[in-house]
Amino acid sequence: MKLARQYFLELSPPQATRSQFISRKGSWHGCTIAALSVGDFKARRTRFEPLLPENVRLVSACNVYRDLLQGETTEQYVARLSQELEDEFQRAGPETVCAFMVEPVVGSVSGIRSRHERLSV
């Protein structure tokens, strides 16, 4: 989070309005206050909520097994999640978003994906 913020502050001119972060529901990014604020793993986050900054927005987790709608193709699912992310950027104001935080390896919190699954979100 600091690196993303620093990047925008070092631009010429600086983009100091960028302080919002977008993350996925159910995500886990670590147990520091900053990591807990951008994560959404309720069991580890809840007791610290009074300490957490409120500059994080959440979008749906990418979980084809739980969230694929009946009759929806994988391509349609990916397009739906992509549109949800774009809509969240627009709600926040694109000039305020500092980073979209994603788990590079999903499985420790969001569930395990099939080795045959090939989603690119």
Does some domain include residue 71? yes
pTM of the model: 0.81
Return the bridge partners of 106, or none: none
pLDDT, residue 114, reads 46
CATH number of the domain that residue 43 is part of: 3.40.640.10
Q: Decide if 34 is inside a domain.
A: yes
Residue ranges for the chain with pLDDT beneath 50: 109-110, 112-121
Instruction: Domain count for the chain, please give it.
Output: 1
Give burial (CB, 10 Å; 0-12/13-18/19+) of 60: middle
**Strands 97-100 and 56-59, bridge-based pairing:** unpaired
In a domain, 112, yes or no: no
Assigned domain for 109 exists: no
The predicted pLDDT at position 87 comes to 98
Whether residue 48 lies inside any domain: the answer is yes
Pick from 43, 39, 33, 13: nearest CA to 101: 39
Tell whether 117 is covered by a domain: no
Which residue range forms the structural domain that includes residue 34? 2-100
List CB contacts of 27: < 8 A, sequence separation 6 or more. 38, 39, 40, 41, 61, 101, 102, 103, 109, 110
Domain membership of residue 110 (yes or no) is: no
